[in-house]
Amino acid sequence: MDETALRDITHIIHLAGAGIADKPWSSKRKQEIVESRVRPLQLLANVLEKRNQRIRAIISSSAVGYYGGITSSKIFSEEDRPANDFLGNTCKMWEVAVKSLDQVAEREVRIRTSVVLMKEDGALAKLAKPVRYGFGAAVGSGNQWMPWIHVDDLVEIYMKALEDNNMRGPYNAVAPEHATQSVFIKKIGKALGKPVFLPAIPGFLLKAVLGEMSKVVTEGSRVSSQKINDADFEFKHPQLQEALNNLLT
């Protein structure tokens, strides 16, 4: 990289990473998913150290995939250990790379991001499209948890992480309201004024098409927002139906 690009830089926000669900998880794609997250952070750490330059904070994206896809009554917090699966191990390596900047940054913050709801792109657009045409349905059991956050709240969490020197370590970027995928689809239907009546799409069909990547949509855990709440963060969109109405109507 052009080392002069870091001149006078005091804060770095790291969002780099190949899309988790953009392509099937071949061995090559898995390597790309990991390296696209880890290597840029290692590069930044090496260049800052070479320049003998310290920054005030490194704020990096991570993901709630850290906790794995476990559909249960447990609510995962930042104190829980990473899951021993591909996404859990990816997030673990990602966050270890963030912490490698401890030598050159006064503090580091890891934002474990859930499904981000936005108008034009991402998961919501893909979920809403079949509902608009009357073909909306959950996948798998429909009982898997789907942690989520409105894009406006995610942006505000990053702004707070920039400005609040007390924020350190991991924070879950997830709205307070928990919802299963079945409930999620029905609330999309309510926001669009469309009925959702089709049975769930069997998980084995998705696995046959998507392979291991099917876990992204057929599995999911409940994740706590308590730590970011305790940091005096106030969600603009804490309730799922209101967030969907805001984005879809």
**Helix (H), strand (E), coil (C) string for 44-100:** HHHHHHHCCCCEEEEEEEEEHHHHCCCCCCCEECCCCCCCCCHHHHHHHHHHHHHHH
**Helix (H), strand (E), coil (C) string for 133-182:** CCCCCCECCCCCECCEEEHHHHHHHHHHHHHCCCCCEEEEECCCCCCEHH
DSSP class of residue 20 equals: T
Question: What is the longest distance spanned by two Cα atoms in the chain?
Answer: 61
Strand pairing partners for 12? Answer: 58
Contact criterion met (CB below 8 Å) for 97 and 41? yes
| pLDDT tens series, the chain, 249 aa | 888 899 999 999 999 999 998 888 999 999 999 999 999 999 999 999 999 999 999 999 999 999 988 888 899 999 999 999 999 999 999 999 999 999 999 999 999 999 999 998 888 998 999 999 898 888 888 999 999 999 999 999 999 999 999 999 999 999 999 999 999 999 999 999 999 988 888 777 666 666 776 677 778 999 999 999 999 999 999 999 999 999 999
* pLDDT tens readout for residues 145-181: 999 999 999 999 999 999 999 999 999 999 999 999 9
Domain hosting 32: range is 3-248
* pLDDT tens readout for residues 105-123: 999 999 999 999 999 888 8
Contact criterion met (CB below 8 Å) for 170 and 234? no
Q: At what angle do helices 240-248 and 122-132 cross, to 10 degrees?
A: 80
Q: How many domains does the structure of the chain reveal?
A: 1
